Amino acid sequence: MPDFITSGPQETRELGRKIGALLKKNDVIALSGMLGSGKTTFVQGIAEGLGISAQITSPSFIIINEYSGRTPLYHVDLYRLQGENEIEDLDLADYFSRGGITAVEWSEKYKSHLPKNVYNIGLENLGDDKRKLCLPLELAAQLK
């Protein structure tokens, strides 16, 4: 799992953009990492890579936002999801196979429900403007 260190949100967005450009329909990106580690920033880059011009924001009470681009993007944020029941009751399976790309923030809460083909990306705040992103080898290998 190769690590990428970014300095500032623009670099994280740029990495997201490159990854977004590589993604194919029904790909699922699972983003884990603490608040402020750059998950939403990275999804903004993915959206750019998919040719989505709309502004990507963190859904506050809504769990899923949909955007249309080269491929639709389903942006899921499970931050507010709490407890076994809420997690068990949430069924995202349809999204994972609807022909779009699903990006899930706080995917650690939903681990056992993620599809087998998921790309796991771990983010870490290294302090100041530095963030570490750990990308799956299959994706990292395709970056130029």
Site for ligand ADP in 8-27 (CB under 6 A): 8-9, 11-12
Nearer to ligand ADP, 23 or 131 (CB): 131
- 8: partner contacted, choices Mg ion, ligand ADP, none (Cβ within 5-8 A by kind): ligand ADP
| Cα 83 from Cα 13, distance rounded (Å) | 31
Euclidean distance between the first and final Cα of the chain, in Å?
16
Q: Does 38 bind ligand ADP (CB under 6 A)?
A: yes
Burial class from Cβ neighbours inside 10 Å (0-12, 13-18, 19+) for residue 144 reads exposed
Closest CA to 8 of 116, 110, 140, 128: 128
Q: Does 75 bind ligand ADP (CB under 6 A)?
A: no
DSSP string for residues in 9-39: HHHHHHHHHHHHHH--TT-EEEEE--TTSSH
Q: Does 109 bind ligand ADP (CB under 6 A)?
A: no
Q: Which residue's Cβ has the minimum distance to ligand ADP?
A: 38
Site for Mg ion in 9-68 (CB under 5 A): 39-40, 58
Residues lying near ligand ADP in the complex (CB under 6 A) are found at 6-9, 11-12, 33, 35-41, 58, 105, 129, 131
Residues that bind Mg ion (CB under 5 A): 39-40, 58, 105
